[in-house]
Structure 1
Amino acid sequence: MSQAVEPDLSPAVSSVPATPLPRLVTAMLSSNIGALIALLTPLSLLLTLHLTRIAGSEAAAAFGLVTGFGALFALFANPLGGRLSDRTVARFGRRRTWILTGGISGGLVVGTLGFTTEVWQVVVVWCVVQTLFNFQQAATSALLADQVPVHRRGTVSGLVGLAAAVGPLLGLTIVSMIPIPIVQWLVLSVIAIVLAVTAVLILRDPQHTRAGGQKGLGLVELLKSFWLNPVKHPAFGWAWLVRFLITCVYASGTYNAFLLLQRFGVSEAEVGGQVLLLSLISVGLLAVTSVVAGIVSDKVRRQKPFVIAAGVIGAGGLVIMAFAAEIGMIYLATVFIGIGMGLFFSIDSALCVRVLPSSENAGKDFAIINMANTIPQSFVPFIAPFLLAIGSFTALYLVLAVFGIIGALFVLRLPELGREGDPRWAVITRGETSTGI
């Protein structure tokens, strides 16, 4: 029988001490920033410019094709990587093994994007890049459940959430100083590899010992990596929906370059600087908001108000973006979105860890939660051409704003900290292994 209690997600590890918290946070930041520099810098700018050179007027459609297929591969790679890291018994550590493997191989592959000359080539290489870095991110995310005490997860979640903004900001800053496109891609490659190696050197990752009676990874077990029954685990299901819907709000940022190029006539030579400035505004606000909100959340023992505010404020920014008639309004919208992102990233990971059903499968379960981050990368580009066709950028941003409001409402179904087990809210299941069915 499942019990509605706050889970203690202590993994089955050896007696080797876990990583001291400052070192753990540093390692998680290093790994996440490296992966996100390699993933989000192309999504924010480099893929747009590269595809414009390759496909010309068809660049927007090509961008949707590339990012859609890439996100589809990431969708499967993240939970698969999480399940594999859960079951890895290498002496090097179950998380370190995949952080290093994903970071080095992903870094090598992303560097080849600058040499592609056809859209189909970009699609293939980008799918491989997404797969490898999602293996790295799945292992990194699981560290929050593995080694961070419950009472510190809000703070750590806020700090690690900075990686989502610091990554593309650093990437954009660096590539904006490099005039040669191929060199831009190669620099991303080096950064991703160096930061992955740095993370594993800092991190302590005790060898995992397989639980008695635990079966090996057969085909059925691998298929279970992609599903966890939301009826059997209701709080997990609601948390997944909240993350998916609010992440759709922030996935709109991948269209900033196209908005500037097409609505405001910004030249290709100037668009990189404009995107970088928007990112600076967003990251500055995100940095302050996420750290402060994470600390405040741990102090007041509340999570839901921050997530609700994130959805509403982010949606407000998109409404401003939808009707912006001058670039100044885009900057105002970015202020709203940056604050909303900070609130969301400061709390969301800590909230999601709280609803994981199993400690033994924390990597796999958290990777399924991470699918709610990945699917919007495919879903938004999938619906964007239709919305752009019927109502231009106005329709696109308004629909995504509605998603943000719905996500803010759905978080009301989750119990607040300290109120787990109250029948008025969705049950946090615990006391059974999350088999995926």
Structure 2
Amino acid sequence: MTDDPSPAASDPLPALVASNAATPLPRLIGAMMTSIMGAYIALLTPLQLLLTLQLTRISGDGAAASFSVVTGIGALLALVANPLGGRISDRTAARFGRRRTWILTGALSGSLVLATMSFTTQVWQVALIWCVVQTLLNFQQAATSALLSDQVPPDRRGSVSGLLGLATALGPLIGLAAVSLLQNAALQWSIAATGGLLGGVISVLLLRDPQHPRASGEPRLGLAELAKSFWLNPARHPAFGWAWAIRFLITCAYASSTYNAFFLLDRFKVGSARVGGIVLLLSLLSVGLLAITSAVMGFVSDRLHRQKPFVIASGFLAAGGLVLMATAPSVAVVFVATAVSGVATGLFFAVDSAMCVRVLPSSANAGKDLAVINMANTLPQSIVPFIAPALLAVGGFGALYLFLAALGVIGGLFVLRLPEIGREGDPRFALITKPKAVTTAVSSH
């Protein structure tokens, strides 16, 4: 399978950023933030609380195992949907716009399906609905992510990356705050679905997205082209491969937050009536620190023209928070560990998206390539739930958290292989694209 060959330097698309067709930057930031907040209200509110409560009602003591199965399968569907959504969005020629079309379609259909979750009475029904929701909302997320490459000027990508990290944090916080005020399951799921719907609708109202007609000679989007959605050769594009691994490992480290409710129920015997309130407080603390750190450090990164120190600090701080969580003797220490993890996640979100865009081989395929990068977000949602039961059986939550801490440290160190801003092409670091071997004919005399 071949890669997309054209280097970023030769792409015509960055000219869109300076043209009248581009969305004014404040509106563009608003559009991207509302789309992301809506998607994360619809996805992370269930992951952090509502799925735990729904599965506890359905399967009682078997809820933790059911949660792992449901979220693991859902994440596998998201793993497939995100790259497909990115590739299809790159090639969409609708007058409504290639990104707007899928932001609206994903948000509208995904939210409507999510609203039916309260009617489930069997685990398989929960799994089915969750898989459909993950698929649809990942089409929305893939289209939204591509806007960072499409329309954000390179010298503002760190700032925008930090604000998108803020939106990622605010989404589940808003969702948790809203559903925690209610006890009725149908209303809780409806609130999460409404948040997702509003985020998508507001986003497309703010966004300018000119029609992107199919280029002359561009192959039709058949099965062969769709198959390329899942691959970009890391041997040919090594910086991309390292960025993917960094995001995957650090995302594994902070994927532990989806187990907060089970951790409180298991270690500290917190009752079902109180666990939602404590999870909300933990999320408020984490998101508050994440939001401040992400927004501020995104601007700092742009000013310093540095990204790598933020990633290294993020990996080590994430590990420190997980070690604290693993050894926590009280709920108070859980709050301290959550604060450390919030700062760590904020540092990572401040630069991660900007760093990934910087190592893309081609902005013409930004939707597809960023979706491949986004697989590093999605895989941990599948892998962590699948390995968690074995780790919990061996050493409880301590074993789970310490294992994830080690992954965070490795992810932070991997960034040393990437070039810093302005050093792309330096042979001491991974190259964006390796040149193809050129054979020189030598004539004999």
TM-score normalised to structure 1 length: 0.96
Q: Take 2:168 and 2:267, find their aligned partners in 1: how far apart are those partners? A: 27
In structure 2, stretches of 5+ residues that fail to align are 437-445
- Could you tell me which amino acid in structure 2 is paired with residue 202 of structure 1? L
For the aligned residues, what is the CA RMSD? 1.8
Deviation at 1:210, TM superposition (A): 1.9
CA 1:315 to 1:6, structure 2 compared with 1: closer, same or farther past 3 Å? farther
Aligned to 1:395, the other structure's residue is in SS state: helix
Alignment match, 1:79: 83
Q: Take 2:188 and 2:9, find their aligned partners in 1: how far apart are those partners? A: 46
Alignment of 1:241-390 (within 5 A): 241-390=245-394
Paired residues of 2:244 and 2:376 also in contact (CA < 8 A):
yes
Aligned to 2:121, the other structure's residue is in SS state: coil
Alignment of 1:392-403 (within 5 A): 392-403=396-407
Cα distance per residue 1:46-100 (max 9 Å; x no partner): 0001101101110000000000000000000000000000000001000000000
Equivalenced residue count is 432
Cα distance per residue 1:148-186 (max 9 Å; x no partner): 000000000000111221011000000011110111101
Paired residues of 2:75 and 2:382 also in contact (CA < 8 A):
yes
Q: Take 1:185 and 1:3, find their aligned partners in 2: how far apart are those partners? A: 45
Does residue 146 of the first structure (1) align with residue 150 of the second (2)? yes
Does residue 10 of the first structure (1) align with residue 2 of the second (2)? no
Deviation at 1:12, TM superposition (A): 8.3
Alignment match, 1:194: 198
Q: Take 2:282 and 2:238, find their aligned partners in 1: how far apart are those partners? A: 38
1:166 to 152, 165, 170: 170
Q: Percent identity?
A: 66
Does residue 212 of the first structure (1) align with residue 216 of the second (2)? yes
Say which one has the larger Rg: 2
Q: Take 2:205 and 2:424, find their aligned partners in 1: how far apart are those partners? A: 38
Q: Take 1:374 and 1:111, find their aligned partners in 2: how far apart are those partners? A: 22
Alignment match, 1:435: none
Q: Take 2:367 and 2:179, find their aligned partners in 1: how far apart are those partners? A: 33
Q: Take 1:282 and 1:72, find their aligned partners in 2: how far apart are those partners? A: 27
Q: Take 1:184 and 1:168, find their aligned partners in 2: how far apart are those partners? A: 13
Paired residues of 1:73 and 1:127 also in contact (CA < 8 A):
yes
In structure 1, stretches of 5+ residues that fail to align are 433-437
Alignment match, 1:157: 161
Cα distance per residue 1:335-385 (max 9 Å; x no partner): 110000100001000000001111111000000000000000001001000
1:135 to 133, 139, 147: 139
Paired residues of 1:236 and 1:352 also in contact (CA < 8 A):
yes
Aligned to 1:360, the other structure's residue is in SS state: helix
Q: Take 2:395 and 2:65, find their aligned partners in 1: how far apart are those partners? A: 16
Paired residues of 2:75 and 2:378 also in contact (CA < 8 A):
yes
- Could you tell me which amino acid in structure 1 is paired with residue 95 of structure 2? R
Deviation at 1:16, TM superposition (A): 5.0
Does residue 24 of the first structure (1) align with residue 22 of the second (2)? no
CA 1:13 to 1:88, structure 2 compared with 1: closer, same or farther past 3 Å? farther
Extract structure 1 runs of 4+ deviating beyond 4 A.
Answer: 1-9, 11-16
TM-score normalised to structure 2 length: 0.94
1:113 to 117, 121, 126: 117
Aligned to 1:162, the other structure's residue is in SS state: helix
- Could you tell me which amino acid in structure 2 is paired with residue 282 of structure 1? S
